[in-house]
Amino acid sequence: VNDVQIVRAGPGRLDDLASLWRSMQEHHRSVDPAIPGIPPRSADDSWPRRRAKYVEWLRHPDAFILLAEQASSPVGYALVSIHEPADDTHMTGDRWAELQSLSVEPSRRGSGLGTRLVERVYEELRVSGIEELAIGVIATNERAMRFYERQGFRPWVVTTLGKVPKSTQ
């Protein structure tokens, strides 16, 4: 992990994230909650949709990608978007952040790179004067949940998903 550099990047590096998104999506498929009638998308279907969202989020001047590279090869990333204004239910600042994605290449997981990436996310946010960070986690991704709880984060809003029931008439 020590020879891995973490660099802040903008939309010009989006195409470098494709295979890391793919491996995160594969992990998500392996922990999928199996909601009846709503299977996860394939990585091929999912990446262009996700990429388009990244482009939108990165329009905000305080949004960013942190790319972990080893010998110029991407081995992990974090992508952070910014919300304005303050959340209306909790006492956040006028701007608050959301960690939209965190991915480490499968062969490197469990060696501290994810922790380095989130610590660098905090540094970037401190520089921007942003004090709150939300992180969405698939409810059945228990190891990721444990990772964030160890960092001091707690479940907040739980989103449920299901099919609209068929009409009985």
Binding positions for ligand COA, rule: CB under 6 A = 24, 27, 102-104, 109-115, 137, 141, 143-144, 146-147
Nearer to ligand COA, 150 or 166 (CB): 150
Q: Which residue's C-beta sits nearest to ligand COA? A: 114
Residue 3 Cβ, how far from ligand COA at the closest point, in Å? 15
Residue 41 Cβ, how far from ligand COA at the closest point, in Å? 16
Q: Is 1 in contact with 109 (CB distance < 8 Å)?
A: no
Nearer to ligand COA, 30 or 85 (CB): 30
- Rounded to 10 deg, the angle between the 18-30 and 43-57 helix axes is 120
Q: Within 10 Å of residue 32's Cβ, how many Cβ atoms? A: 14
Upper half-sphere CA count for residue 8 (Cβ side, 13 Å):
13
In degrees, rounded to 5, the angle at the alpha carbon of residue 79 between the alpha carbons of residues 77 and 83 is: 165
Nearer to ligand COA, 40 or 114 (CB): 114
Residue 17 Cβ, how far from ligand COA at the closest point, in Å? 12
